[in-house]
Amino acid sequence: MPFPAERPRRLRRTPAMRRLVSETTLEPRHLVLPLFIREGATEPRPVPSMPGVVQHTSETVRKVVVEAVEAGVGGLMLFAIPERKDASGSAAYDPDGALNTAIREVVGEVGAATVVMADLCLDEFTDHGHCGVLAADGTVDNDATLDAYRRMAVAQAEAGVHVVGPSGMMDGQVGAVREALDGAGFADVAVLAYAAKYASAFFGPFRDAVESSLTGDRRTYQQDPANAVEALREIRLDVDEGADMIMVKPAMSYLDVVTRAKDLVDVPVAAYQVSGEYAMIEAAAANGWIDRDRAVLESLTSIRRAGADIVLTYWAVEAAQRLSRG
């Protein structure tokens, strides 16, 4: 064999050399922390399938958001578990409902120092667990659901949210939300569109976290995991309707979609490292099968390398603290 003229290993010899030529950065500002707030809770409730994640009380969530800001995390994404559910998910747009109350409390605590986001979907609030209002035949009524999303968007804006995250995968949801916000005088509230959200098995632990009432599945509105071109169509439509940022969810099993999204649009691209992705790493580490700390940062770096500007992850605070320590 001829002597190799090119020796890529020269650039891997030392930590300093590897740092010098590193292509992808991962910084605390890139990370967003999802949080669950349980209405009426007097103490945090652990989520069994997500080690280290809890349903917060109104008191404990204040402490966590302060810690997140101190760690330099880029933002917070709020979810709520209400005490009352009904067929229309009316608690979602009740000004004194669980989520809107949590938004006001978090914004009051750290709103000037970080970006407060809120999930905009009915699934946590409906007694049937679907992301929209049901028609008489049991299917999700797309356009009736848009009316609920409009009300939910305005309620969240009135509570002080900075970014709404429509995640129900209804046709026209971004345009409906943008129109409602602008019409109510909230033109400055941004929209992070869950533009490519797949009907994924990796959402399982999340449904424990929000105590989902779902029976059946969401395949008539969430995307088929086999499809990537369809995702690009969804992303293009959401940007055309006024999305300020778009999201791919889940992240790690859809890194190809993240890359194609980044190439397609000129708005920030987010990716959500979902509950199942989190739980798999935690479970493997608990069994001694992988190095947990390395796996956490490697997984987050891979999402950034694929093109995500923003990564939603349950490790946001821990990772930010470790990154800050170098």
Q: List the catalytic residues.
A: 197, 249
The answer to whether 165 and 192 are in contact (CB under 8 A) is: yes
- Kindly state the helix (H) or strand (E) to which residue 13 belongs, with its residue range: none
Report helix, strand or coil for 81: strand
The answer to whether 303 and 273 are in contact (CB under 8 A) is: yes
Q: What are the structure tokens assigned to 70, written together?
A: 């101190």
Among 115, 78, 80, 77, smallest CA distance to 94 is for: 80
The answer to whether 196 and 223 are in contact (CB under 8 A) is: yes
Report helix, strand or coil for 293: helix
User: How many degrees, rounded to 5, is the angle at CA 56 between CA 309 and CA 253?
Assistant: 35
Parallel, antiparallel or unpaired: strands 310-312 and 75-81: unpaired
Q: What are the structure tokens assigned to 114, written together?
A: 């970080």
The answer to whether 153 and 145 are in contact (CB under 8 A) is: no
CA distance 110 to 119: 18
Parallel, antiparallel or unpaired: strands 54-56 and 45-46: antiparallel
Among 218, 191, 195, smallest CA distance to 132 is for: 218
